[in-house]
């Protein structure tokens, strides 16, 4: 059973600005990555459903997180059907992220009041997802769908839409500011944040510093956007 309500999850996603997206078959590496991210200021973590027995690994990590980092919100990503969503919800997932828009998944998550973030690639899909109850929609792959310009185009007619791009997001000042100025609620970052090099070297301190720097940039970008929004929209 989820330990956090979907309202809790939404607020923490907005607060953090960055959602790490990660999978590794080695539970020890996963624990070190999760801890490094938490130490760097992350409070929402997406464990992706990739690889054999991924759900068993998620269960183990979620129990460990509840004990060792109780403030961290764990959820499952790369979920594409209702059955798998149900499985992860039973294992305590606090949110479900999908690369696709699947109405049956919405029903499962809504019954349990679990945050569901479906993958969308057009304004029609986004509108349908919101009709199904999605509070935050995922655009995937973010850079291929249209990048920050696509977000701006969506926010024009639909300023109420909350968007989380994943794919093509980089933890740099230029890239993050461009996304947040466009109007995203938060961003999902995978290997551009948790790099193969850091994992191979088991440089967990280096990962913590990298994550902390990215979180700082994201929060500064949000503050900068809030300060300049009146100017942007008055043009």
**Residue numbers in the chain where pLDDT is lower than 50:** 226-235
pLDDT for the residue 1: 84
d(CA 41, CA 17): 10
CATH of 6-234, one of 3.40.50.2300, 3.20.20.70, 3.30.565.10, 3.30.413.10: 3.20.20.70
pLDDT of the residue at 225: 52
| pLDDT score of 220 | 86
Q: What is the pLDDT of residue 224?
A: 53
Residue 227: is it exposed, middle or buried by C-beta count within 10 angstroms (0-12/13-18/19+)?
Answer: exposed
Burial of residue 200 (number of CB atoms within 10 Å: 0-12, 13-18, 19+) = exposed
Maximum Cα–Cα distance across the chain: 52
d(Cα 143, Cα 166) in Å, to the nearest integer?
8
> Quick one: which H or E segment has residue 187?
strand 187-189
Q: How far apart are CA 175 and CA 198, in angstroms?
A: 21
> How confident is the model at residue 77, as a pLDDT?
98
CA pair distance 212, 39, nearest whole angstrom: 8
Q: In sequence order, which residues have a C-beta less than 8 Å from that of residue 3 and are 6 or more positions away? A: 66, 73, 92, 94
- Give this prediction's pTM: 0.92
Q: How far apart are CA 2 and CA 74, in angstroms?
A: 9
pLDDT tens for 151-174 read: 999 999 999 999 999 998 999 999
56: phi then psi, degrees, rounded to nearest 5: -65, -40
């Amino acid at each position: 059973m989820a330990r956090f309500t979907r309202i809790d999850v939404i607020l923490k996603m907005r607060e953090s600005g960055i959602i790490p997206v990660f999978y590794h078959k080695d539970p020890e590496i996963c624990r070190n990555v999760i801890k490094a991210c938490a130490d760097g200021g992350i409070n929402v973590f997406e464990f992706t459903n990739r690889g054999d027995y991924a759900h068993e690994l998620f269960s183990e990590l979620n129990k460990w997180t509840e004990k060792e980092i109780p403030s961290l919100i764990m959820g499952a990503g790369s979920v594409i059907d209702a059955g798998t969503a149900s499985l992860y919800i039973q294992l305590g997932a606090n949110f479900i992220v999908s690369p696709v828009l699947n109405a049956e998944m919405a029903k499962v998550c809504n019954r349990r009041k679990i945050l569901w973030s479906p993958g969308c690639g057009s304004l029609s899909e986004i509108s349908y997802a919101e009709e199904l109850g999605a509070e935050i929609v995922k655009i995937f792959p973010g850079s291929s769908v249209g990048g920050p310009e696509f977000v701006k185009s969506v926010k024009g007619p639909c300023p109420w839409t909350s968007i989380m791009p994943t794919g093509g997001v980089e933890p740099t000042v230029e890239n993050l500011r461009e996304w947040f100025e466009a109007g995203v609620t938060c961003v999902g970052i995978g290997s551009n944040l948790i790099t193969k090099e850091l994992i191979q070297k088991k440089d967990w301190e280096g990962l913590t510093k990298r994550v902390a720097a990215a979180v700082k940039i994201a929060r500064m970008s949000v503050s900068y956007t809030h300060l300049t929004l009146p100017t942007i929209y008055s043009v």
